[in-house]
Amino acid sequence: MKKILCLISVLLVLACANDDDDVDVEIALSDPPKNKIILLIDGTEFSENIVNSSAFYSCNESLSISFSSKKNGVTSELLSIVLTKDGQIKYAHFVDKSFNYNKTYRTADFFPSTTLNIEDFEFKEEETLMFKINGTLLEETDNYLKTPKELQINAQIEINEFGKSICSYNKDFIRLNDNIYFTDISKISQNTSTNPSVRYNSNSLNGFNISFKNFNTSFKDIPIGSYNFNTNSVEEKIEFRKYIGIPKAFSTYIYLPSDWRLYESQVIFRLRKK
């Protein structure tokens, strides 16, 4: 009786083994990420879980890249970078999530390339983007007297997938020469009961500011032609400044007079169509 039981046990084991041989095993293989990043923060490779990325090429002008990470089950933005199409840094910020609250570090106001460099830039429209970024980001603050804390960042980024971007506006720009170029022109109303007017203000990426003051019409309504202004003009005038302060990252753009050199100059302003 004991021998029969042993024989049955052996047959059962063999039957199970044969059944396993007939099973089709399916292994789900995911495609490797199309957008890649190698990120070092203060010299240490970033170890948190980077879960999402996106990239857009907007209005034949700007490249926007962002990466998100997951912490405590919550996915939020980690690193965001905006470049011109020829590889100039416009803006970058990194969210440090290693504390009980997030700390934001970003590029310096008015002159972002003073602390951050873009290297080995390669871009093929809507197909590939590769570049390296290295330098210092500054902790965002609203204390004008506080020396900003610094964070060292080094990253190697490769983008092979772009999101769909629709350009819904026409960009105004001002070009003084090949080195001084103004975009993102803001219009500010100066309306009063006696002097309704508008002011235009813009910063270049290399530390210059231009301000059009006391204009009684918008740019698009000014006739094409040449106009002569100087700093002491009583009515319409153009003021031209250069940033000379230390790199800062305020929570909002703050124009402290001591941080700027106002040029005493005469400006010939030529307005023409694109």
pLDDT in tens, 130-173: 999 999 999 998 887 778 899 999 999 999 999 988 887 667 77
Per-residue model confidence (pLDDT) at position 15 = 38
Here the tokens at position 193 are 């009961």
Q: Is the pLDDT of residue 12 over 90?
A: no
Distance between CA atoms of 115 and 14, rounded to whole angstroms? 70
Q: Is the pLDDT of residue 73 over 60?
A: yes
Here the tokens at position 182 are 């103004």
> Are residues 203 and 183 in contact, defined by beta-carbon separation less than 8 angstroms?
no
Give the CA distances from residue 40 to residues 122, 135, 151, in Å, rounded to whole numbers and listed in that order.
21, 11, 10
Mean pLDDT of the residues in the chain: 81
pLDDT in tens, 18-60: 445 555 555 555 566 789 999 999 999 987 788 899 999 998 8
Range name among 132-141, 206-215, 218-227, 241-250 with the lowest pLDDT average: 218-227
> Are residues 245 and 207 in contact, defined by beta-carbon separation less than 8 angstroms?
no
84 versus 224: the higher-pLDDT residue is 84
Per-residue model confidence (pLDDT) at position 188 = 80
pTM, rounded to two decimals: 0.79
Distance between CA atoms of 178 and 181, rounded to whole angstroms? 7
65 versus 176: the higher-pLDDT residue is 65
Distance between CA atoms of 116 and 154, rounded to whole angstroms? 10
